[in-house]
Amino acid sequence: MTPSDLVAPVPSGAPPEARPALPHSYLTEGTTLRSWLTTTDHKRIAILYAVSITVFFFIGGAAATFMRLELATPAGDVVSAETYNKLFTMHGVIMVWFFLIPSIPATLGNFLVPLMIGARDLAFPRLNLASWYLYVGGATFTIIAMIAGGVDTGWTFYAPFSTLFSNTHVIYVLAGVFVVGFSSILTGLNFIVTIHTMRAPGVHWFRLPLFVWAQYATSAILVLATPVLAMTLILLALERIAGIGIFDPALGGDPLLFQHLFWFYSHPAVYVMVLPAMGVVSEIFACFSRNPIFGYRTMAYAIIAIAVIGFLVWGHHMFVSGQSMYAGVAFSLLSFLVAIPSAVKVFNWTATLWHGRIRYDAPMLYALGFVGLFTIGGMTGLFLAALALDVHLTDTYFVIAHFHYIMVGGSVSAYLGGIHFWWPKITGRLYSDRWARFAAILLFLGFNFTFFPQYLLGIEGMPRRYHAYPPEFQTLNVLSSAGAVILALGYLLPLIYLGWSLFRGRPAPANPWNATGLEWRTSSPPPENNFDVRPEMTEPPYAYREARLGRDIVEAREGTQ
Amino acid sequence: MTLLPLPPSASTMAPRVDALFYAITATTVAVAIAVFVALIYFGVRYRAGNPVPRHEDIAEAQRRARIRVELAWTLIPLFLFLCAFAWAARLYVDRGTPPAGAMAIDVVAKQWMWEFQHADGRREINELHVPRGQPVNLVMTSQDVIHSLFVPAFRVKQDVLPGRYTDLWFTATEAGRYHLFCAEYCGTDHAGMGSGDVVVMEPAEFERWLASGARAPSAAMRGEALFRALGCSGCHGANAAVHAPNLAGLYGKPVPLSDGSTTVADERYLHDSILQPHKEIAAGYAPIMPSFAGRIGEDDVFDLIAYIRSLAPATERPR
Amino acid sequence: MKLPRPYVFTWLALLTLLAMTTGSAFVPLGRFNVVVNLAIALVKALLVVFVFMHVRRGSPMIRVFAVAGVLWLCLLAGLSLTDLATRG
Amino acid sequence: MSAGAIATDAPRGEPPLPVAHQFDDAAQQADAASLGMWLFLATEILFFGVLFFAYAVARARFPDAFAAASRHTNLLLGTTNTAVLLTSSFTMALAVHAAGARRMRAAALLLTLTAAIGVAFAAIKLTEYALDYRGHLVPVVNFAFDPRYAQGALLFFWLYFVTTGAHLVHLSIGVAIALTFAWRCARRAPGRLPEQVETAGLYWHFVDLVWIFLYPCLYLVART
């Protein structure tokens, strides 16, 4: 029995428009723009975030497309050096702060954390809306900077270039990132307080779904790291305006002090980007292998370990920066230690499939893509943690490939997997699984085609942030640019079939995947107060024992159950 | 000979780094293959609808297997990581300690070019000639922002910071012309700075090249000219009227400072005393020296330091 | 209006500690001055946190958050010292 | 496990405390509010912590210059200001206590007093800035210092103005919050006010905590 096509052909005689109107839910509570822009419902704020970060994903993606166009030829002939520098800076700033960091926490996290712990909303709904407006505020500053002429400092803003030598609109972008930082802090604060105080009866700490564990650890990082970035950017901006500061070597300051403060935030920030993805993958693996997660407690401790040790390793960004040799050795050891919990999680995901009943619906394909690409990304991180190799590989395309494998191959795949997994719950509609699976595979191939050649370029020694390069690097660059075209097209697909499903998709039952978890015990889409009757958790999560027949997913989706 | 895609191995460090690279590649590829094989094997064998025997109570089966299996895939990676860490750290320490007697070449990085200055005063722009087989130590500083000297063929890279000297040493083993890149983003023409070359020549040929260059004044001679032109001799000269530290034989000696501590008169101290004179004031002297920051370049500072090093220890009574 | 006794004592203690720390600055203790200053500031801080801010009343997580803030600051300073102190 | 126990159990005869829809009961709501504020204070610790870390690094690099520069700060005004801020913490604690005991008029009075003392602190601080200006101690504007320590002193006063400026901003927010709650305590039924005043009090005490550490760093580097 080939997995039935989700979108069964419309039974003849029933015109498509006669599809039953959606039942009463949070979506129908108010349909005016005002009701959306002044909502304090965590589910609506999740959708506001989803829309805004998608817009920024494609702006950042556009910048990347121009860069790949430029890099197809050794000579810098498509765009000028100045424009290329502004392109990669904008690509970095937008993708890091306006897409990756909010991507899963602010969308799936906002929507699902209250549902998964059986609460009616987050602890501070008004703060949650304020968080989105801070995001919009930060975005406005960044857009102004782009329109006014862009910034050419790189998303890392290293002093003394960003303070004394760059004559572009650095202050606008610093203001934008400063403001959007507080959006992260408010979201993190909201999640931590909610998970501590508002769990439904029976929802003990070690019965929390791993997605909630991941949101908790991510929020802890956001709350503990972002304030350091906020003050560092203020010091940088003041130094740029006043010409005096603690990073200026001519005044006895130290540019490395900026790098320490910046990376103290920015390395934990990369764990903010990957931990929620790990949470999503755990949920999807359990559901589509019909197995409980292998070693639930180990996976939970591993999430916390990654978050904590993640704060101790930032020095591996500075092995050749003039940092002392002893600091390099210390940070290298700690960086190897932080790789252990990530490795354990990959092995535990693999073991989850053991004796399972695995189905390959779209979410599962994205999750498998995550595990595969995150394994390669994580392994190449070991090359960069090894001091002697980092000397050769840092600041080359090896580093670019490494973090894109984890950010794009990992986090974005898991984000799409999560969107596909919870789409029926969020929108109350089903989508075309055939198209979704095709998109997942296309993205996987396009991604590898784009970024694997960059590993080889990095080993050969091609430095990053070059718009012109020696001719011997051209073949691999052309391959990478070709791959980027496939990737760009691949990302348009979900927009199309998911968009289509919004209006024409069949209504989704409460639990289309027959998954465990409190969010599946309410209707799809859920009412404004989430639960008509307060749920209670009576057994450990991922108790897929009784639903092990595999037929049950299909029946659940047909709504015959 | 190196397996592609590693660049040619042209320094004593390169084969050692490559050996570590191959070892880590082999281990990681093996583990990655093991994970992918396991994923595919489980994925195919336990797919829904495939009638193979399965544990009825999977949670119990997992619990039994969990302890041993998780211990294994935690401790084994930990052991492998520690080995890789130790091996890499050893190489990193060797990279960080230039061998004694290495040929010193001064390097000034500025927005968007490299300026090299051999001990005998020969200057080169964006091109560095070095002898094969002899350790070379680059003493580097930046005129403006942070740059980074990167020679892929030697597997060496070191950021070049303004206001500080950083070292980068290598011993070339293969004659030839190799890329010299700037690896730390430094502004508009960062890529342009990457068109530099390192030319490794046989020692005899290098000597001929060095001698054949236009009779450039040595760094010390240029330094002496600057010493007079900038008016340093007015205070620090042998018969100067002003009470200023005597520079003869100063290089390498400990210098008592006005705050009671003492420091060694090395390149850093001389560089900072020229550009930021009030940072460390010699004991018993008034803070009257003007700063030359902005008036002279880092290459001039190298010349002045070369001149001060060449001054023989003072014979007459120190002032 | 009867002033709650613990608050008044704490207030007076804080003012005396202030006087002590200012006074200690005039005593030539050399490097030890810094230690005295920080110690007195720490005592004042703990007084405010424990008495005025009722840190003990309320869920134990409150103390965890307060300690976490200070501990992460020490991580930043401590690990940066491995570089700043040994850069030579 | 309820934070701010004094705030949640409404005394007999008053309507049950209003509870936001997402909470089950007032205790949970008070718990969330206090946890939320303490978590926010953790972020503030790190926010100011970066400045203290930068101060420590700069002072280690220029010990003598920092000592010399610190002697030019106005010890009298600094010490007075510390006493003023400690007193404001005292009056805020009384205000929280009064609100907890449902003596709303006393709470409003004490909150206004706290805000007034806060304004006094700001006034003293601004006069000190004026004196610093006259003493040519303001970087960028008219900085002039003994050339031996000019470089370090410049960094000292740069950090002096950045830290005290940031503290002043936080203090002004505190004054605004105190006045808002003073107005509410005077005008409205207690309801959740006792618990909200306690949360506001936490923020005020934090602003005082920052100054407790700033004072020795800026004024007492070396007075012998």
A507-510 long-range Cβ contacts below 8 angstroms, 24+ apart = A507/A19, A507/A20, A507/A22, A507/A23, A507/A428, A507/A429, A507/A430, A508/A423, A508/A424, A508/A425, A508/A427, A508/A428, A508/A429, A508/A430, A508/A557, A509/A424, A509/A556, A509/A557, A509/A559, A509/A561
Kindly list the domain boundaries of chain D, sorted by start residue: 48-219
> Which domains are seen in chain A, by residue range?
39-245+255-546 (1.20.210.10)
Whether B135 is covered by a domain: the verdict is yes
Q: Which residues in chain B are closer than 8 Å to D150, comparing Cβ atoms?
A: 278
CATH at residue B181:
2.60.40.420
Percentage of chain A modeled with pLDDT above 90: 84
pLDDT tens, position by position, D47-96:
999 999 999 999 999 998 999 999 999 999 999 999 999 999 999 999 99
* ipTM > 0.95 (yes/no): no
Q: What's the pLDDT at D165? A: 96
B117 and B202 part of one domain: yes
CB B222 within 8 A of CB B117: no
B170 and B132 part of one domain: yes
pLDDT-derived band at D222 (thresholds 50, 70, 90) equals confident
Q: What's the pLDDT at D13? A: 58
Rounded Cα–Cα distance for residues C49 and C71 (Å): 16
Whether B233 is covered by a domain: the verdict is yes
Most A CBs within 10 Å: which of C73, C79, C83, as the mutation test of the A interface? C83
Domain count for chain B: 3
Q: pLDDT tens, position by position, for chain B (319 residues)?
A: 567 689 999 999 999 999 999 999 999 999 999 999 999 999 999 998 888 988 888 888 899 889 999 999 999 999 999 999 999 999 999 999 999 999 999 999 999 999 999 988 888 999 999 999 999 999 999 999 999 999 999 999 999 999 999 999 999 999 999 999 999 999 999 999 988 999 999 999 999 998 887 667 788 888 888 888 888 888 888 777 788 888 888 888 899 988 788 888 888 899 988 888 888 888 888 888 888 888 888 888 998 888 888 886 644 434 3
Chains contacting chain D through 3 or more C-beta pairs under 8 A: A, B, C
B156 and B114 part of one domain: yes
Question: A499-503, B114-118, B302-306, C66-70: which range is least confident on average?
Answer: B302-306
Q: What's the pLDDT at B237? A: 81
CB contact under 8 A, A256 and C88: no
Q: Write the residue in C15, C24, C49 that is nearest to D86 by C-beta.
A: C15
pLDDT tens, position by position, D57-70:
999 999 989 999 99
Does residue A22 carry a pLDDT above 80?
no
Does residue A296 carry a pLDDT above 90?
yes
Find, in chain A, the residue whose alpha carbon is nearest to that of D151: A251
CB A104 within 8 A of CB A46: no
Q: What's the pLDDT at B318? A: 41
CB contact under 8 A, B278 and D148: yes
Q: What's the pLDDT at A3? A: 37
CB B154 within 8 A of CB B171: no
Q: Which residues in chain A are closer than 8 Å to D41, comparing Cβ atoms?
A: none
Whether B7 is covered by a domain: the verdict is no
B235 and B196 part of one domain: no
B172 and B124 part of one domain: yes
Rounded Cα–Cα distance for residues A502 and A22 (Å): 11
CB contact under 8 A, C79 and A326: no
CB contact under 8 A, B278 and D64: no
Report the relative pairing of strands B135-142 and B103-110 from DSSP bridges. Answer: parallel
User: What single string gives the DSSP state of each residue in A516-539?
Assistant: -SGGGGS-SSPPTTS-SS-----S
Residues of C (10-69) whose Cβ lies below 8 Å from D: 10-11, 14-15, 18, 21-22, 24-28, 33, 37-38, 40-41, 44-45, 48-49, 51-54, 57-59, 61-62, 65-66, 68-69
Secondary structure tally for chain D: helices H, strands E: 7, 0
Whether B8 is covered by a domain: the verdict is no
Report pTM.
0.93
> Among candidates A213, A317, A214, A302, which has minimal Cα distance to A265?
A317
Most D CBs within 10 Å: which of C29, C52, C56, as the mutation test of the D interface? C52
Q: Does B22 touch chain A (CB under 8 A)?
A: no
B63 and B19 part of one domain: yes
B197 and B225 part of one domain: no
- What residue type is A246 in one-letter code? I
pLDDT-derived band at A494 (thresholds 50, 70, 90) equals very high
CB contact under 8 A, A121 and D28: no
B129 and B171 part of one domain: yes
B118 and B159 part of one domain: yes
CB contact under 8 A, B278 and D151: yes
Per the structure, the complete domain to which residue B78 belongs is given by: 13-96
Q: Write the residue in A256, A311, A324 that is nearest to C86 by C-beta.
A: A324
Residues of A (142-161) whose Cβ lies below 8 Å from B: 152, 154, 156, 158, 160-161
CATH at residue B294:
1.10.760.10
Domain D48-219, second-level architecture: Up-down Bundle (1.20)
Whether B4 is covered by a domain: the verdict is no
CB contact under 8 A, B91 and A165: no
pLDDT-derived band at A28 (thresholds 50, 70, 90) equals confident
